[in-house]
Amino acid sequence: MNTYCTFFLVAATALTLSACGKSNTPAQAVSDHAKAANAAAAKAPAANAAATNGTATKGEAAAAAKPAEAKPAAAAVEVKPKAAPMPGQIPAPSDVAAIPADAATTASGLASKVLQKGAAAVHPGAKDVVKVHYTGWTTDGKMFDSSVKRGEPIEFPLDRVIAGWTEGVQLMVVGEKRRLWIPEKLAYQGRPGAPAGMLVFDVELLAIKAAPKPPAVPADVAAPPADAEKTASGLASKVLKKGTGAKHPTAASMVSVHYSGWTTDGKMFDSSVTRGRPASFPLSGVIAGWTEGVQLMVEGETRRFWIPEGLAYKGRPGSPAGMLVFDVELLKIMN
C-alpha cells in the first residue's frame, strides 16, 4: 500500500523543508529552498500520511490560525459510490462520502464530529508535538494510510502537517477520537501523486508535548551593533558565548547546531530551538553567510550573525528577504 505524507503540504521554514521520508535540516534548505532536507527530522512521522516539514514545508513554517468557532455543516455534496475495502484495509465510515448533518464546520471549511469524548481539558497548540493514531480515506471509501493498521502511533509537530490537520487536531483533547472531513484546499491541493479531493480521517489524540518557548528577539536585530566584527564580504557577527573547543570547521565540514533566525523587523522565521532538536548539515550546502560564519566558530560557542541579503537568499521569491539575523550555537564538528 502506498502511503502519503501529510507533511507534503506544510510550508517549509526558511531553513527547513519537509518531504516524505526526509528530514528537516537547515543544510539543504538554506542552500536551495526547493530541495528536501536530509533524513532525520520530524519525525519518523515524516514518512507517514498524517505526519511528517517543511518543512514541506518554504520559508517559514506556517503556524495554524486559532480554530474558528464551529458552525453547522454545509449541505452535503453529491454522494459517490463507496468502494469495497481491499483485503487488510480498515472499512470506511458510513459517512465517508459526504459531511453529515450533525458535523460541525469551521470558517475554513473543515468539518468534524466527535466520536469519543476525551478526559482532558487542554488543547494542543499549532507548534506542539502530538501523538496520534489515525486512518485516512478518500470519499470513495478507499483507505490510503493508517497508523492503526501499522500498529504504531505517530508523533509530529502540528505546524508540519496539512492545514486541515493543523486546525483539526487543535480542536481535540487527549483521549478524544474525532472524524475530520478535510476539503482539498486544506489537504493536498491537487498535488500529483497525493490523495485527491476531500479526505476523511479518524484521529485519536493520545498525547500532547508542549513546544519549547521561542527565543527572545535580539535587541540589536535591526542592525549590527558597533561592537560586531565584520568580514570583507560584509558578514557581521558577535560572540554571545565563548566556546570550549579549539578547532574550527572548514567549508567541507558536517556540523551540528542549534539556531534561530529573524528578519530585521524582529519576526522569527525559523528555529531548531522551537522544534526541540538540533540540525546537522554540511557547511558546503548552506547559504554563503552560514558557510563563512560558522567557520569562525569553535564547539560550544554561540554567535550572532547579521547576514546581508547578498550572502543569504538574494531576493529569492518565498524566502526571507533582506538582511537576516541568526543566533547559532555550534554543538559539534562531525568530521
Cell numbers at 79, concatenated: 454522494
* pLDDT at residue 231, as a whole number: 98
What pTM was estimated for this model as a whole? 0.56
Task: Encode pLDDT of 295-328 as tens digits.
Answer: 999 999 999 999 999 999 999 999 999 999 999 9
pLDDT band at 33 (very low <50, low <70, confident <90, very high): very low
Mean pLDDT of 327-332: 98
What mean pLDDT is predicted for residues 228-233? Answer: 98
Averaged pLDDT for residues 63-85: 39
For position 89, what pLDDT does the model report? 82
What number is the average pLDDT over the span 246-256? 97
d(CA 39, CA 31): 16
Read off the pLDDT band of 26 (50, 70, 90).
very low
Let me know if the fold of 1-211 is the same as that of 229-333. Answer: yes
Among the residue ranges 26-40, 264-278, 285-299, the one predicted with the least confidence is 26-40
- What is the chain's Cα-based Rg? 22
Among candidate residues 160, 145, 126, the one with its CA nearest the CA of residue 203: 145
Q: Exposed, middle or buried, 88 (CB in 10 Å: 0-12/13-18/19+)?
A: exposed
**Residue range 260-286, pLDDT digits in tens:** 999 999 999 999 998 888 999 999 999
Alpha-carbon span 88 to 210, nearest angstrom: 35
pLDDT at position 300: 97
Confidence tier at 78 by pLDDT (50, 70, 90)? very low
Cell of 289: 553567510
* pLDDT above 70: percentage of residues in the chain: 74
Predicted pLDDT of residue 277: 86
Q: Which residues are catalytic?
A: 259, 269-270, 287, 313, 326
Into which CATH architecture does domain 229-333 fall? Roll (3.10)
pLDDT at 56: 38
CATH number of the structural domain 1-211: 3.10.50.40
181 in Cβ contact with 1 (< 8 Å): no
Q: Report the Cα 112 to chain-centroid distance in Å.
A: 23
Which residues, including other chains, have CB under 8 Å from residue 196's CB and lie 6 or more apart? 138, 184, 188, 190
Q: Where are the domains of the chain?
A: 1-211, 229-333
Q: What is the mean pLDDT of the chain?
A: 80
Cell of 262: 529573524
Contacts of 219 (CB under 8 A, 6+ apart): none
Q: Using CA atoms of 228, 229, 233, 234 in order, give the dihedral in degrees to the nearest 10.
A: 20
Asked whether residue 55 carries a pLDDT value surpassing 70, the answer given is no
State how far the alpha carbon of 186 is from the alpha carbons of 46, 95, 142, 179, in Å: 18, 19, 19, 15
Q: What is the pLDDT of residues 96-122, one digit of tens each?
A: 999 999 999 999 999 999 999 998 899
Bridge partners of residue 143, in order along the sequence: 137
